[in-house]
Amino acid sequence: MKTIAEINKKIENGDAIVMTAQELCGIVRSGESVSVNDVDVVTTATRGIMSGTLAILSVPVAGPGVFSRAERVSLNGVPAHAGPCPNERLGLVDMIVYGTAQRDARYGGGHLFHDLVSGNEIEVVVEAPVGEGAGEIVTTVTIDEIPFARMLTTRSVYRNYSAFVNPGEAIPSIFSVADFAGNCSGATFAGCGELNPLEKDAGTIGIGTRVLVNGATGHVIGEGTRSTPERRNLSLAADMHTMDGSYIGGFATSAGVDIINSVAVPIPVLNEDVLRSTCRLDSEIALPVMDIRTRSEIGRTDYSQVWRSDSPVSSGSSGLQATFDESRCVHCKICEVRMQCPTGAFDGGEIASRLCCNCGHCVSACNAGAFTAGVGTIPLNGKKIPVILRHSDRKGAIRLADELKRMIEDGSFLLTEPVGRLAEL
């Protein structure tokens, strides 16, 4: 048995043994044995679409006395909800912005949050009631000019998820970029498999657990909405001022815009039960295959089928990453990848790594075969269905888990003792 206090003392002394989940699973996969004394902390992470996200902002838009209250607010055209504090005549507007709020089919709350934490200027439009102020106020701000910017998630860090196929006719879906093709011609899936924090946990994560949210220090504030024993998720809070824009972004689907977040969680290896959980491999983690129309299970596989341990996909090399081979590009008059890329990462000449989430949609969108992403296949009823979209980014998760490991090793990130347990579901 070890305690968090003991592990923190080792961190402060520079003696803690820290491994990423990827490193630990690599040791287990090689056949080597690992004991509780061999590792103190395992850094886990996940990156992908996390719809239940909002930001609470307090934005200065005018001098004192210019208007009495805001009636409507937008940031870069994304609608926000003014309040709950009216901040009467202070020139400030407190507001809530949802990660899934939409300006248009290609830009929404996730894109806005990326621009905001990247330090870009944001246009703010405030409408005050006629006769009570200035009418319409238009200004610009950066995050450095916003004194309060806090992100909350109502449902994130899912304990992996599912694969989806469509046995019927093509339909729009949040699980596809173009309409979700029918006749089981393609599959999508979500979940980072053996890197996932809640797959590695054996009761160490609780209310108050310190985590990284898009590169910024944050905390678990409780269970998330729609959380179940099989698909547990968390609610988190973090200050946006120190977030890294390369970890957060918008994602355009055929049924509206969504948001990408990245979260890393340290797992203190306190005992054998925790060690066993942290050693779980992709092959031990179920991946249900669901009918996208009914959300009913029609098959089952595991994460080793989509994150292959015998290929570069699980090693952090090019198999995890969407790549563009310019020599194979035929320079279509209308580039479908540029038109459809859900994060706007492809400009027609190269992939912007700061925007790309390695979803792999470019592979199916390009008729010339100029893109690769190591997306693999899903087995179902004796057939192998090609993956056309990943809603999770294992490469990004590995990068954040590596960052958390470095922070623990240099003593800038200590573990916290939870102040409360998560709900028993």
Q: Is the pLDDT of residue 19 over 90?
A: yes
**pLDDT at site 69:** 84
Q: How confident is the model at residue 422 (pLDDT cuts 50, 70, 90)?
A: confident
Mean pLDDT of 344-351: 92
Mean pLDDT across 406-419: 97
Tokens at 349, concatenated: 């000449």
Q: Over 50: is that where the pLDDT of 84 sits?
A: yes
pLDDT (tens digit per residue) in 292-315: 999 999 999 999 999 865 443 333
Mean pLDDT of the region 236-265: 97
Residue 265 pLDDT > 50: yes
User: Does 84 sit behind a cis peptide bond, omega within 30 degrees of 0 on the bond before it?
Assistant: yes
- Strand, coil or helix: what is 340? helix
Segment 102-117 mean pLDDT: 97
Per mean pLDDT, which range of 67-81, 131-145, 182-196, 409-423 is the poorest? Answer: 131-145
Mean pLDDT, residues 315-337: 82
Tell me what pLDDT residue 311 has. 40
**371's tokens:** 């893109």
Q: Whole-prediction pTM value?
A: 0.94
Assign 131 a pLDDT band (cuts: 50, 70, 90). Answer: low
Concatenated DSSP letters of 288-337: EEEETTTTEEEEEEEGGGTS-TTSGGGGTSGGGS-EE-GGG----SS-HH
Predicted local confidence at residue 316, as pLDDT:
37
Q: 238 φ, ψ to 5°?
A: -160, 150
Question: How many other C-beta atoms can be found within 10 angstroms of the C-beta atom of residue 138?
Answer: 9
Comparing CA positions, the residue from 173, 153, 159, 162 lying closest to residue 110 is 153
pLDDT, position 425: 52
Domain residue spans of the chain: 4-50+157-321+373-409, 52-151
Cα–Cα dist 341/112, whole Å? 17
> What are the b/e assignments for 76-112, b being 16+ CB within 10 Å?
bebbbebeeeebeebbbbbbbbbbbbbbeeebbbbbb
Give kind and range of the element (H or E) at residue 236.
strand 234-239
Reading phi first (left if > 0) and then psi (alpha if -120 to 50, else beta), residue 29 is in: alpha
Query: Beta partners for 242?
Result: none
Per-residue tokens: 15: 């003696």
Whole-number Å distance between alpha carbons of 101 and 395? 27
Please give the pLDDT value at position 132. Answer: 61
Would you place residue 88 in the very low, low, confident or very high pLDDT band (cuts 50, 70, 90)?
confident
The CB density around residue 301, as the number of other CB atoms within 10 Å, is 17
Is pLDDT at 183 greater than 80 in this prediction?
A: yes
Give the range among 71-75, 337-341, 374-378 with minimum mean pLDDT: 374-378
Residue 101 has pLDDT above 50, yes or no: yes
User: Measuring CA to CA, which residue among 24, 1, 30 is closest to residue 280?
Assistant: 24
pLDDT for the residue numbered 48: 96
Q: Whose structure tokens read 């000019």?
A: 145
